[in-house]
Every structure is written in C-alpha cells, then in structure tokens.
Amino acid sequence: MNRRQFLGWGAVAVSVPMMATLSGCTTNQLLGAANLVENGDVPVVELAYGAGERQRCDVYRPLDAAGKPLMGPLPVVVFVHGGSWMSGDKQLYRWVGQALAQQGFVAVLANYGLMPEVRFPDFANDVAAAVAFAHTHAAEWGGDPGRLFLMGHSAGAHLTALTAYDNRYLARHGLTPAIIAGYVGLSGPYDFQLNTPLLKGTFAGSPERERDAQPVNFVTATAPRSLLIMGRDDTTVNPHNTRSLAARMREVGAPVEEIWVDGDHGVTVGAFARIYRTKSPIVARVAEFVRGR
C-alpha cells in the first residue's frame, strides 16, 4: 500500500450526492455537511471515560413514541471514528450516532488520543477504556451489557479490532473479549505493511511491537462474531486487509461475514447518513447483525 492507499480521511468522504458537489472541500467540511442534513431528535450526552482531554464519549439513547428514552435493555454499539490515528472527532459523526439510535440501539461514540501526542498502543488503550466504561454503565443508559458491540471505520476499525481480538487490552480492566457480542469493521486496516512514513512513524519498532499492531495476528476460534464491510474500489485502505482477516477467521473457525459494496473508502460509513440510511443495505445488515440475525 502506498500512503494514499492507506491514509486519507478518517473521517470520510461521505459519498452523498449533495456533498459530492462541494468540490475542494476539506474532510471536516464534508462531515459538517453530513451533520447539516442530520436533523434527528435523539438526545446526546457527553461523558468522560478517563482523565485525558480526549477520553470522552457521546451517548445517544433511542426514544419511544412519546419522545422519552427507551429503557430496554437495548443493544449497545460503541463506534470509533477514523482519521489515520491523527485526526477526527466523535462530534463530526453525530449522524452515525443518530442512525444507530434510530435503529433502537444505545450508541456510544468515543474519542481517543491522537498522534503525535499519543502513540501506539496508547490510543488502542483509550478505546479499550471506553469499551470498559460502556460495559459498566450500559444499564444506566437503558442498554444491555450482555449485548455490547464494537464498530469502527478506518483507523477506528483497526482500534476496535485490536480491542475485540487482542485480549490484553480489556484485561487491563478486568474484562475479556467475551463481553463483546459482535464486531463490525468498516473499511478497516487489519493486516498492513509498514511501508509509508505515517505507518512507520505510528507503528514501527521492535518485531513484537510491529506484530502487535496487526489485528489479524490475534484472531482465535473464540473471537467475537464479526461483520466486515468493505468497498471494492477503496484506494485508502487496501481491500486485502478485509480478505486477509476474513481468511484468518475462517482458518481458525471464528464466525465471520464479509459484505463487499461498490465504492471507495467512505461508502461503508456514508451509508449511515440521513439521506441514505433508510434504504441502505449496509445499515439494514448492521442492524440485523446487532439484533442477532
């Protein structure tokens, strides 16, 4: 993979027709446009899962017909944004939180420390801390801690995959990946070569450190069931990553499903944008997966 094949947005060139007309826009402007068309009514509250400046999460609770939060217990989905481990923010993805809540799920959108202030594996430790926080407090939000799902896009898919497959991250919180009912990876890097300045600067080091950066190295037969969604035309994260992880999961007997869609890096998460979500087969399959089907 070259730098363009891996890097990119993290936050998403959402392939919404309205946004596609905004030629020359920055990623944040594109995400702002996604938020602009997001006018959902699901309330959100920001909470701290740690003492760090970026150790915060937004919790979205679904509403009943009277506009009051559902008490459930409901599935909980922890979503982690992308951004090449160096950019991005949960607030730019409130449309994802709204979409998940509108499906009847408690959505937890977590920030994590970013490069260069935070290095690997510390940003993965942040994600694990957010997951542990969600597991502890799920019932307070009307959620079911026994139905806790992880979902991430791009770099966020990488970090949630490490949390789901490498038991050392949750072990720091007295937990195991057995608490994870399922993992949803959107355009994720799971098995990549350190062949760009970004990747070398983020992950290079001892052989053990470089091995530890690859989620594919930690898949076992007891891994959470996984749904891997990838754009066939992705030029940011090489589609090889999804094929390799799925192959490894099948090799060890772990449950996995692949979904391949036409489009580039943003198509998998862009499906959750308001103008797409009601008709998107991606959103429908993710919802079915979280409901246990």
Q: What is the pLDDT of residues 207-236, one digit of tens each?
A: 999 999 999 999 999 999 999 999 999 999
Q: In this structure, what token pair is assigned to residue 61?
A: 């609770």
pLDDT of 16 > 90? The answer is no
Q: In this structure, what token pair is assigned to residue 26?
A: 């920055």
Q: Which backbone phi and psi does 222 adopt, to 5 degrees?
A: -95, 10
Residue 230, strand partner residues = 260
pLDDT tens track for 161-187: 999 999 999 999 999 999 999 999 999
Q: What percent of the chain has pLDDT over 70?
A: 86
pLDDT of 158 > 50? The answer is yes
Q: What percent of the chain has pLDDT over 90?
A: 81
Q: Give pLDDT, residue 72.
A: 85
Least reliable range by pLDDT among 9-23, 64-78, 117-131, 214-228: 9-23
pLDDT tens track for 77-110: 999 999 999 999 999 999 999 999 999 999 999 9
For the CA atoms of 290, 218, 271, 113, the dihedral, rounded to the nearest 10 degrees, stands at 110
Q: In what order do the strands lie in the sheet with 226-231?
A: 44-48, 56-60, 106-110, 74-80, 143-153, 180-186, 226-231, 256-261
Q: So where are the chain's domains?
A: 3-16+28-290
Q: Give pLDDT, residue 48.
A: 98
pLDDT tens track for 279-292: 999 999 999 999 99
Q: Give pLDDT, residue 42.
A: 80
Q: Give pLDDT, residue 27.
A: 44
Q: Give pLDDT, residue 1.
A: 39
Q: Say if domain 3-16+28-290 classifies as CATH 3.40.50.300.
A: no
pLDDT of 271 > 60? The answer is yes
For the CA atoms of 236, 242, 248, 254, the dihedral, rounded to the nearest 10 degrees, stands at 140
pLDDT tens track for 120-135: 999 999 999 999 999 9
